[in-house]
Structure 1
Amino acid sequence: MEREVVLSVRDLNVKFRMRKKALHAIRGISLDLYQGESLAIVGESGSGKSVLSKNFIGLLDKNGYVESGTIQFGGKDITHLKEKEWEQIRGGQIAMIMQDPMTSLNPLKSIGWQICEALKYHRKIVGQAAQKKAVELLTDVGITEPETRLKQYPHEFSGGMRQRVAIAIAVACNPQVLICDEPTTALDVTIQAQILNLLKSLKDRYGLTLVFITHDLGVVANIADRIAVMYAGDIVEIGTCDEIFYDPKHPYTWALLSSLPQLGTKGEKLYSIQGTPPNLYLPIRGDAFAPRNPNALAIDYLHRPPYFQVSETHKAKTWLLDSRAPKIAPPEQIQSIRSICFLGGETDGRE
């Protein structure tokens, strides 16, 4: 059965004007987001994850602009909407949970006021009906004594509880798509697991389509249906969770997985990716990861690889998948991944 496409990105190029130069932050990305799925977008800091998602909700910085490409949502291209048009989509149809809830919540307004404001603006629910709905939402996100909590302010909550409030506000308006921008970064491992489990349960309860942004592959192992691996403003590999963890094809995905602490050996240094990402002010020739790839081929420095189809759901941009390329085995760490229970059961405090 063919899945319904909720949001479709085609050949998106996004640049930023900085110091009389143009930084090419998103380099020709194409991506489909399917109804009801959880898509994780992973990669190092600066790979373009947050910039890509900000285009979905009209929050691109003022010096940023879409040079070319389209983002289809709700039957129209949303790349060049006016702010008034974005107000009809942002929050109501596409919502976002930010990294730090203390900066996304208003410190001068009570929790109840902030939830009711979202209900009033997007769903026209006011008065006692809004209060009742706010209590339901706080209960749904696991906050006890919700009637009392509605009267309190963000500073009276712990970090994990503030994130639960931010999630309650995000789902209050029944959005079709919920973008989670590293929502567990500032939380300890135990609270991370709780927030991830909460998002999984809310996804089913509210029929959400999730976009989960993170630099940590281990965090998304049990929340993602598909994983898109980003590097230097491009999606270099995309596939199901099983395919990315157990059958990765791009050398950058190999490097990211090898960097997971769970794959380290006691008494030995943890693996780290050598070198630094490319300068996006300058044109990139060939495969952007080539200078950091110990297995780079000569062609990697000359021509940008196309997508090679591995399966119906899995593709990667690497010349290693060309039929003429030499057969290079993944690093030993990757080959030992199956001995670690990432995808099922409990792992390192994460479920």
Structure 2
Amino acid sequence: MNQEKILEVNDLDIKFELRGKVLHAIRGISLELYKGEILAIVGESGSGKSVFTKSFMGLLERNGYVDGGSAVYYGADDGKEVDLTNVKREKDWLRIRGHEIAMIMQDPMTSLNPLKTIGVQIMEAVLLHQQVGRREAKKRTLKYLADVGIQDPDKRFDQYPHEFSGGMRQRVVIAIAIACNPQILICDEPTTALDVTIQAQILDLLKELRHKYRLSVILITHDLGVVANIADRVSVMYAGDIVEIGTCEDIFYDARHPYTWALLSSLPQVGVKGTDLFSIPGTPPNLYAEVKGDAFAPRNPQALKIDFVKRPPYFQVSPTHKAKTWLLDPRAPKADPPPVVSKIRNGGLF
């Protein structure tokens, strides 16, 4: 895998002010994205996945702000490094948003204007981000439609969003993002509203486009099963922090954090017929209050006393794999993963 960084996040803190209280949504995250890779960010709803990535495009709500840390983008057209946390003016964000970093939202219907044809909406992105005339813009639009797997693009160009199925609308949204000519493509739950067959097609399409357009992709999802065949690396996120990160093989076959074990145990693929599917007990912590120790400790049956007192650092499992859990401390007692996780390790389910 290419080890040239395109984005480097260090100790990023994001907070929101709401009704006189402060919500600490992102708690000191550090992360690298490499050129040409697909990095999946996985975690329960509310873990901070979307907030984290929206900060790269200046899309935080008005009551949200970066309270510390950096997010350095290395892929700018002029070759200069840009710390995205220092970008404040909307006109500066407009140079980055779309052209440098583009995002695909999870509901394509809310991303498309029902009053404009598909062709016009893709052409708008081409005209805004590529220095071409209308004739060339239309030619490129037809090519993008074909590239995302929409048949008969000449006919489809003049149709409206309501004339497309959910899967086809998602392809159109992807075409609009590609038309912006970005370096980084953020996909926020791009397959949530689609059935399993269409899900697989969209994921295959993202893999193809990654190579064709030399994209670096961040895939946000709550479903570990979705990333098994697409991601190069996986970041597991919990309560505004990345608790484990590694290659796809590291996470599926050698997971070390109890939260990752719980997510793997929740996969329908590992369920046993006639028994209830595993669900993680308890609820995530209240991020309005200070989180002491390991945020997952109250839900972790193997939690140590120190988990309730001191936040764990990263422990290096291998050159590509690290996790924030005191279970990896040399002084900790041996803790075996749940039987289901051992089954995944030995059974090659993915």
**Aligned length in residues:** 343
Give the conservation status (yes or no) of the 8 Å contact 1:119–1:126.
Answer: no
Shift of 1:341: 4.6
User: Residue 340 and residue 131 in structure 1: after superposition, are their counterparts in 2 closer, same or farther (change >3 A)?
Assistant: farther
SS in 1 for 2:225: helix
TM-score normalized by the length of structure 1: 0.96
User: Residues 17 and 64 of structure 1 are in contact (CA less than 8 Å); yes or no, is this contact kept in structure 2?
Assistant: yes
Shift of 1:340: 5.0
- Other structure's SS at 1:162 match: helix
Q: Mapping of 1:47-126 within 5 angstroms?
A: 47-74=47-74, 75-81=81-87, 82-126=89-133
Which of these residues, 190, 196, 203, is aligned with residue 197 of structure 2? Answer: 190
Distance, in Å, in 2 between the alignment partners of 1:241 and 1:255 is 16
The alignment partner of 2:318 has SS state of coil
Distance in 1 separating the partners of 2:346 and 2:142:
44
Work out whether residues 218 and 342 of structure 1, in 8 Å CA contact, stay in contact via their aligned partners in 2.
Answer: no
1:128 corresponds to 2:114: no
The residue aligned with 2:26 is 26
The question of whether the paired residues in 1 share the 8 Å contact of 2:2 and 2:36 is answered with no
CA contact (8 A) 1:222 1:342 kept: no
Residue 152 (1) aligns with residue 159 (2): yes
C-alpha distance in structure 2 between counterparts of 1:339 and 1:308, whole Å: 24
Structure 2 partner of 1:299: 306
Q: Is the 8 A contact 1:12 1:26 kept in 2?
A: yes
1:93-117 per-residue CA deviation (whole Å, 9 max, x = no partner) reads 1110000010011111111111110
Q: CA deviation at 1:5?
A: 0.6
Could you tell me which amino acid in structure 2 is paired with residue 125 of structure 1?
Answer: V
TM-score of the superposition, structure 2-length normalised?
A: 0.96
Q: Residues of 2 paired with 1:140 and 1:274: CA distance?
A: 44
Unpaired runs of at least 5, structure 1: 344-351
1:182-225 CA distances to partner (integer Å, 9 max, x unpaired)? 00000000000000000000101111100000000000101100
> Structure 2: 5+ residue runs without aligned partners?
75-80
Q: 1:98 to 1:308 in 2, by over 3 A?
A: same
Give the Cα–Cα distance (whole angstroms) in 1 for the partners of residues 143 and 349 of structure 2.
33
**Distance in 2 (alpha carbons) for counterparts of 1:278 and 1:210:** 29
Aligned equivalent of 2:78: none
Q: 1:319 aligns with which of 320, 326, 333?
A: 326
Change (3 A) 1:175 1:2: closer
Q: In the TM superposition, what are the counterparts of 1:327-346 in structure 2 within 5 Å?
A: 327-338=334-345, 341-343=348-350
Structure 1 residues 261, 10: closer, same or farther in 2, change over 3 A? same
Alpha-carbon separation, structure 2, partners of 1:12 and 1:160: 35
Moved over 3 A (4+): 338-343
* Cα shift readout 1:285-331 (whole Å, capped 9, x = no counterpart): 00000000000000000000000000001000000000000001000
> Which one of 262, 273, 279 corresponds to residue 280 of structure 2?
273
Amino acid at match of 2:151: T
Aligned match of 1:170: 177
- More divergent stretch after superposition (195-204 vs 119-128): 119-128
Aligned equivalent of 1:248:
255
